[in-house]
Amino acid sequence: MHSSSPLSTMDNIMRPLLLVAFFSSAVWASKLPSIWPRGTYALPMPIGGCPNTYYYWKTGRRYQDTTDVFPNNKWSNPLHLYGSKSWTHVEQNFCVKTDYNMGGGSNPDWEPGQYCIFKKGKFCPDRFREGWIKWDDQNIFNRNDQSGELPEGVYDDDTKIYFCCREDGDAGTPLTLPVDKPFFLFRKNGNCQAVDRMTVLVEWFRWDGQDDLIDLNKYRDGSVPDLENKSGDNHKLMYCYYSYTMGNIMRPLLLVAFFSSAVWAAKQPSVWPRGTYALPMPIGGCPNTYYYWKTGWRYQDTADFFPSNRWSNPLHLYGSKSLTHVEQHFCVKTDLEMGNGSNPDWEPGQYCIFKKGKFCPDRFSEGWIKWDDKNHVNDNDKSGELPEGVYDDDTKIYFCCREDGDVGSPLTLPIDKPFFLFRKNGDCQAVDRMTMLVEWFRWDGENDLIDFNKYRDGSVPDLKNIGGDNHKLMYCYYY
């Protein structure tokens, strides 16, 4: 998996010449940093994706194939961790900070408290203590898998991950951390660490280990997060999920800005266009823009007889991929409007998005693509919020496409994070202030000798194959 590119260079954005703000409390500005503390480390990925805060976290995933004899994985309700989970498997996803400092200046240190994070790199951040947890995954026919950037650990038929823990402060004394998006820390010593301006939920996941009759393994060492099990390999790991509401944040009373061009403010919306729809999820997660997109995924078990899935380099789509499978992840907008006001309409152009709901947004045309997934012993799976479609042993997904404008006339869309649109009619649609890459994925269909199926209908994104089920789908990545 490739790391995400920066959203856009500062050269692409007209910078404010003067920005003056008066807040209801001078403490508010000084207490809420826009960057995470110094050091290299990783955090569990929430369903809304990684933090924003002017840094694009690298991402990775670990698929754990847990016991399938009387399987008994369990988890809290709610559990805001991103990734698939069932009685027999769990997928851990990670937001990984590989740069010691963010931005140009010196970053703050982690503050004292009672909490843990994942270890990344040779050393923990200052004043943290190291430890590790080992999971005893499935013994026979083990399907463990991993991709992308991972915390320090050993990833084979079992899973061993290193942690960094702090035990030198009062859990009730709030940490000062960015509040732009929800995030996780691990619980330490019985209580979730307080974080300024954030509400906290205690959540958990219990892994069902192999429970071998004779087991001389050691499953933890050093300073680790709270595990509700006292011993053995059935780890019940305790998470602290932090989120904010607008009521938690003191709002500015007056905000005055003079820009180098008045056009900049008029041209850059803070919300996505009206309508319900879905977008492919990039490796950096869903857009932010003051809206929490619902998320979902579709695992496609593709042909394993002379398998031949292929993809572009780079490919910034989030999810695992191999010669025999691919995982599509989705950012899904289920509300017609974002925020309190009226949202803009999608502008004319040549592009496609996923369909969500009964109708496409205004002036889009509908179509669908069907994938002929694996015929025998099919492991297709799905979870969360999905585009309109049929998700069984094959995959059929509906699209909404626009073909009524000039591909060279830029759309006006939020630019807070990278995103995808689908290519239509040979060229990627221009988007104001964004750089674009053409990327693709080719699915290897079953190639049945006798096949009367129809694999596309209506208005759909560009497919490089003219017919049949070996779809080479064309994406436009904007950053």
pLDDT in tens, 250-283: 444 333 333 333 333 444 557 899 999 999 999 8
Task: Collect contacts of 68-71 with beta carbons under 8 A, ≥24 apart.
Answer: 68/138, 71/208
Whole-model pTM?
0.55
Tokens at 263, concatenated: 């056009």
pLDDT confidence band for 324 (50 / 70 / 90) = confident
pLDDT confidence band for 319 (50 / 70 / 90) = confident
Mean pLDDT value of segment 182-211 = 91
Asked which of 18-22, 35-39, 152-156, 395-399 is least confident by mean pLDDT, the reply is 18-22
pLDDT at 290 over 70: no
Mean pLDDT value of segment 345-349 = 97
Sign of CA dihedral 144, 66, 202, 161: negative
pLDDT at 16 over 70: no
Rounded Cα gap, residues 82 and 369, in angstroms: 27
pLDDT for the residue 361:
97
Mean pLDDT value of segment 455-479 = 89
pLDDT for the residue 83:
87
pLDDT at 10 over 70: no
Rounded Cα gap, residues 129 and 188, in angstroms: 12
> Which has the higher per-residue pLDDT, 468 or 112?
112
Rounded Cα gap, residues 453 and 458, in angstroms: 15
Rounded Cα gap, residues 108 and 169, in angstroms: 17
Q: 108-166 pLDDT, tens per residue?
A: 999 999 999 999 999 999 999 999 999 998 888 899 999 999 999 999 999 999 999 99
Rounded Cα gap, residues 360 and 346, in angstroms: 11
Q: Are 134 and 156 in contact (CB under 8 A)?
A: no
- Report CA dihedral (334, 336, 338, 342) to the nearest 10 degrees: 180
pLDDT confidence band for 425 (50 / 70 / 90) = very high
Nearest to 469 by CA among 450, 454, 479, 458: 454
pLDDT for the residue 32:
53
Mean of all residue pLDDT scores within the chain:
84
Tokens at 113, concatenated: 């408290």
Nearest to 280 by CA among 429, 478, 6, 79: 478
Nearest to 298 by CA among 181, 378, 417, 364: 378
pLDDT confidence band for 248 (50 / 70 / 90) = very low
Strand partners, 90: 64, 85
pLDDT confidence band for 306 (50 / 70 / 90) = confident
> Which has the higher per-residue pLDDT, 345 or 270?
345
pLDDT confidence band for 61 (50 / 70 / 90) = very high
**First-to-last C-alpha distance (Å) of the chain:** 17
> Which has the higher per-residue pLDDT, 466 or 416?
416
Return the amino acid letter for 218. Answer: K
pLDDT for the residue 118:
99
pLDDT for the residue 126:
96
Question: For a pLDDT cut of 70, what percent of the chain falls above it?
Answer: 82
pLDDT for the residue 211:
62
Q: 387-415 pLDDT, tens per residue?
A: 999 999 999 999 999 999 999 999 999 98
pLDDT at 432 over 50: yes
pLDDT for the residue 231:
61
pLDDT for the residue 376:
85
Q: Does the bond joining 314 to the residue before it have cis omega, within 30 degrees of 0?
A: yes
pLDDT at 229 over 80: no
pLDDT for the residue 230:
57
Q: 64-121 pLDDT, tens per residue?
A: 998 877 888 999 988 899 988 888 889 999 999 999 887 666 789 999 999 999 999 9
Rounded Cα gap, residues 83 and 80, in angstroms: 9
Q: Are 308 and 471 in contact (CB under 8 A)?
A: no
pLDDT confidence band for 298 (50 / 70 / 90) = very high
pLDDT for the residue 88:
86
pLDDT for the residue 314:
87
CB proximity list for 213: less than 8 A, separation 6 or greater? none
Mean pLDDT value of segment 406-434 = 94
